[in-house]
Every structure is written in structure tokens, then in C-alpha cells.
Amino acid sequence: MKNHHKSLTLIMVLTSTLFVSSCQKFGEGVHKTWVEPPKKALVDDSTLTTTVKSSLLTDPELNGLNLQVEAHAGEVILSGLVKTQSQIDRVNTLTWLVEGVKKVDNRMSMK
């Protein structure tokens, strides 16, 4: 029984040591093949406003709606009147698809 207890203790100590040593090596730096992804180019507010407006004007579901678009530091503010909730959803989706949009503040309302 004493030998069994000593063996069990030895196994636990060895396992703990192995576990601790493997944890210390995990995450020490990055793999040599890792490449940092390219940084996205900053989009100025004027370009962002123009791109969102263009996207909305060319969409057949939103054709003829009077929508206002403003951009401030990547935040796009939408306003105007629409007929249905699906149009509001469509405007949100198209706005989020424009590169450089960080936040969408939708202030549109239905008629």
C-alpha cells in the first residue's frame, strides 16, 4: 500500500510538472509564418458620405426616397422618410456594407 501511495504521488508530481512546463511554452511569441493583416485605409467623411449616398441611390427598392446621409469620423447618420420597415432595414444593410463605416445612427422614420 505504501508503494502504491508513493507511486501515485510521484505520478501526480510528474504530471503537474509537465503541465506547468507546457503551459509556460504555449504562447511564447508567434509562429514564424504568421503575417500581420494589412491595416484598412482610413476613409475620409466626404468619401464615406458620397459612397453611402451612391449605394442608396442605385438600389431599386430605395429609388425615389429622399434620404439624408452625414458622416463624422466613420459614424454615418441617416435620416429621411420611408414607407416600410424593410426599407429601413435595407438602408442599414447597404450602409454597413460600405468600407470605412464604424457605426450607423439610423434616424429615419416611416410615413
Domain boundaries, the chain: 45-110
pLDDT confidence tier of residue 1, bands split at 50, 70 and 90? low
Write the CA distances from 50 to 3, 95, 98, integer angstroms: 80, 11, 10
Q: Is-contact 49 68, C-beta < 8 A?
A: no
User: What mean pLDDT do residues 70-80 have?
Assistant: 95
Q: Does domain 45-110 have CATH number 3.40.50.150?
A: no
Confidence of residue 15 (pLDDT cuts 50, 70, 90): confident
Q: From residue 94, give the alpha-carbon distance in Å to each of 1, 42, 63, 97.
A: 73, 19, 13, 5
Mean pLDDT of the region 19-47:
71
Tell me the torsion sign for CA atoms 7, 13, 17, 19: positive
pTM of the full predicted structure? Answer: 0.63
Q: Does the pLDDT at position 24 exceed 60?
A: no
